[in-house]
Structure 1
Amino acid sequence: MYRRYKDVSLILKIVIGIIVGAVLGVLVPSWSFIDILGKLFVGALKAIAPLLVFLLIMSAISKYRSGSKNHFGTVIVLYLSATLLSSIAAVAVSYLFPIKLVLPGAIKIAESAPKDLGTVVSDLLTNAVANPISALVEGNYLAILFWSVLIGAGLRLASGTTKKVVTEFAETVSSVAQTVIQFAPFGIVGLLHESLSKTGVKGVMAYGQLLILLVATMVFVYLIVYPFMVWLLTHQNPYPLTFWTLKVSGIPAFFTRSGAVNIPINLQACEDLGLNKESYAISIPLGGSANSGGAAITVSIMTLATANTMGVHVSIFLALLLCFLSAISATGVSGIAGGSLLLIPMAASLFGISNDIAMQVVGIGFIIGVVQDSVETAVNSASDLLFTATAEYADDRRDGHPVDMRAAVKAAGKVKTKAAKLVEEEGEQI
């Protein structure tokens, strides 16, 4: 029965969960026992998220190899710059269009909330160097980020076998998280029922505003910010390549909602473009964690919406700090559906917001995730392809061998793209 359930599209299951939760919330708001489904789902996420973030970041950093013949330098600069710029755009949009959510059971900010700049910096430094075991148990994401980076850097000197064990352990925990997410529809029934019974339809309507802001920001970043970066490096019209990457990579990623699933499609698309295999064989898998502009947007906007809801004043300093924190944490986002939502508690902790409140926002994220996570994955995956190609074209131009991007895209389009066949095969498997 579980196999059959798992074979059903997660998107379809979530849509059904939203419908069932909304109907029950309107018709039988007094059936409070339904709310336990949401509590169980959020509780499972709270348990697995710290370990998942720790292992993913540690594993990604441990795999870095210097001295390889590729366009790694340009690629990594593009990945990190794009993620940071995405976060900055998200924070700017949040200032322009502030959103408040209605959180069932939300209370005023705790007494431990930062009161001044000195307290903020002191708390950040103290929390960052907390005991890593305690950090995993308590969900202290700042310490998790700090220690995962340090341990991952140390593992670069370890044997291949040790790195393989760490990677396989990370994949195992990712698989467990994926299993938890398979039960998201049941959690959504409970969360939506609780939201409707306690806040009414008006409170839930705020979720729609949040979704519009998230999607609009992602569209702006991919169609304006990213092409500008491509133009700066190549001095060519970026839109033929931008739209081609959306068609070849973004569309399948939208429906699979998994950057990991889309890696074979991106690799084949790179071959169709005639790129250097030594380069894209590294940059495409690396992009699954190092290039997560869509995730940075999600983390930044949803964290600031939470801060607005809790009445937390966000200074320019804290906003800039959030940009860097979102960009760094997004590089460790999981390649599974809804992975970026698990990073919200870490960003929320910057403002002294409790883990319990942050996890309610994660629950909201799964409610709107049918669209939000699909668009986010499309942005992340398509930009892996976009920046891999841009890095090579930029380096070729610097070396005096410029490539006509428009011609390269046209030639790739004529190769009845093996990538299209892979899309079909992936669709059948999913």
Structure 2
Amino acid sequence: MINPVKAIHNANYIGILAWATLLGLALRNAPDTTKTMISNLSDAVSKMVTWVIKFAPLGIMGLVFESITKNGIESLLGYGRLLAVLLGCMVFVALVVNPIIVFVVIRQNPFPLVFKCLKESGVTAFFTRSSAANIPVNMRLCKNLGLDKDSYSVSIPLGATINMGGAAVTISVLTLAAVHTLGIQVDVPTAIILSVLSAVCACGASGVAGGGSLLPIPLACSLFGIPADVAMQVVGVGFIIGVLQDSCETALNSSTDVLFTATAEFKEWRKEGKEININKAA
């Protein structure tokens, strides 16, 4: 395994992640004072990231100005196409992938439940741009669906933290956009590895509003040997399209929390022979 100091110096994110995992396991039995110090250090780093993100509009303005100066106003079309691909993937997950998963589990038409979750949870999350802030909305929706409180009182807060399907889409699409721009060929196995890596990174994405799903992008880019400076330019592009991207991403994340919670409980109802009338959810 690569030296941890060298991994940090060379921005080897895979090496950093491996050492961080080992360090976390080694500190499981550390004294409470040590854990408190590490927690305080983590909070301080998150605070600094928040400050950086607040100044991000100035950097974004510079990126847009430089792009327009070099390539003309037509360069804005590139951002539009990237945003269209990104949002199109999220819509595909919400209206194709998720319904297939629900149908396989409960063997009924999934769309009434899917649309209810998008309407009552996704719309609110779209405007709040925060899965955590949308927890009360999801809890109320689960109650209206007649779900077991002992189940959704655990799954909804947990899902708001680690169920980040929209973030995984963002990481994968922006990384593949960078790979395509640099002319790097990607085969199917590598794309699958990227998808798995994106899903894992999304689970640990920062809770900082507007930047959580963008910060793991350098880690995903390192899979293709993309330098850190180029990867951070991809993050900058993400901030440019961040308003719509983050809103749609949060809507997908939050609505899926309720969707999968309901799906898991409906599966148990099906085993017990209880009636599952999803149409009432519409």
2:197 equivalent to 1:325: yes
- Post-superposition shift, 1:140? 2.6
Q: Which position in structure 2 is the counterpart of 1:379?
A: 252
Q: Secondary structure at the match of 1:314?
A: coil
- Post-superposition shift, 1:160? 8.0
Q: Residue 394 of structure 1 is aligned with which of 249, 253, 267?
A: 267
The 5-angstrom pairing of residues 84-103 of structure 1 reads none
Q: Secondary structure at the match of 2:226?
A: coil
Mark the runs of 5 or more structure 1 residues left unpaired by the alignment.
1-128, 411-430
Return structure 1 stretches of 4+ with deviation > 3 angstroms. Answer: 129-139, 147-176, 399-403
Distance 1:388 1:292, change over 3 A: same
Q: Secondary structure at the match of 1:337?
A: coil
Counterpart-to-counterpart distance in 2, 1:264 and 1:198: 47
- Post-superposition shift, 1:340? 0.8
Q: Which position in structure 1 is the counterpart of 2:55?
A: 183
- Post-superposition shift, 1:173? 3.4
Q: Residue 238 of structure 2 is aligned with which of 365, 377, 383?
A: 365
Counterpart-to-counterpart distance in 1, 2:268 and 2:28: 27
Q: Which position in structure 2 is the counterpart of 1:215?
A: 87
* Deviation by residue 1:219-278 (Cα, 9 ceiling, x = unmatched): 011011101101111112211111111111111111121222222322232223232222
Distance 1:313 1:333, change over 3 A: same
Q: Number of paired residues?
A: 281
Counterpart-to-counterpart distance in 2, 1:326 and 1:279: 27
Counterpart-to-counterpart distance in 1, 2:119 and 2:222: 37
Distance 1:158 1:285, change over 3 A: farther
Is 2:132–2:161's contact at 8 Å kept on the other side of the alignment? no
Counterpart-to-counterpart distance in 1, 2:100 and 2:169: 18
Q: Secondary structure at the match of 2:68?
A: helix
The 5-angstrom pairing of residues 30-429 of structure 1 reads 129-132=1-4, 134-136=6-8, 138-152=10-24, 170-335=42-207, 336-407=209-280, 409=281
TM-score relative to the length of structure 1: 0.60
Paired residue type of 2:264:
A
Counterpart-to-counterpart distance in 2, 1:165 and 1:271: 39
Counterpart-to-counterpart distance in 2, 1:258 and 1:133: 35
Distance 1:162 1:245, change over 3 A: farther
Is 1:207–1:368's contact at 8 Å kept on the other side of the alignment? yes
With 301-310 and 318-327 compared, the bigger mean Cα shift is at: 318-327
Is 1:188–1:366's contact at 8 Å kept on the other side of the alignment? yes
- Post-superposition shift, 1:379? 0.6
Counterpart-to-counterpart distance in 1, 2:272 and 2:8: 47
* Deviation by residue 1:266-300 (Cα, 9 ceiling, x = unmatched): 22322232322222222122213321111111111
Q: Percent identity?
A: 51
Counterpart-to-counterpart distance in 2, 1:399 and 1:170: 45
Counterpart-to-counterpart distance in 1, 2:41 and 2:116: 36
Counterpart-to-counterpart distance in 1, 2:107 and 2:129: 32
- Post-superposition shift, 1:170? 4.1
Is 1:145–1:329's contact at 8 Å kept on the other side of the alignment? no
- Post-superposition shift, 1:201? 2.1
- Post-superposition shift, 1:136? 4.6
Distance 1:273 1:165, change over 3 A: farther
- Post-superposition shift, 1:151? 4.5
* Deviation by residue 1:342-361 (Cα, 9 ceiling, x = unmatched): 11111111111001001111
Q: Which position in structure 2 is the counterpart of 1:87?
A: none
Distance 1:234 1:343, change over 3 A: same
Counterpart-to-counterpart distance in 2, 1:273 and 1:159: 44
Q: What's the Cα RMSD here?
A: 2.5
Distance 1:268 1:141, change over 3 A: farther
Q: Which position in structure 2 is the counterpart of 1:126?
A: none
Mark the runs of 5 or more structure 2 residues left unpaired by the alignment.
none
- Post-superposition shift, 1:190? 1.4
Is 1:257–1:373's contact at 8 Å kept on the other side of the alignment? yes
* Deviation by residue 1:143-188 (Cα, 9 ceiling, x = unmatched): 2333444445566667888767766654553343233222222222
Counterpart-to-counterpart distance in 2, 1:198 and 1:338: 27
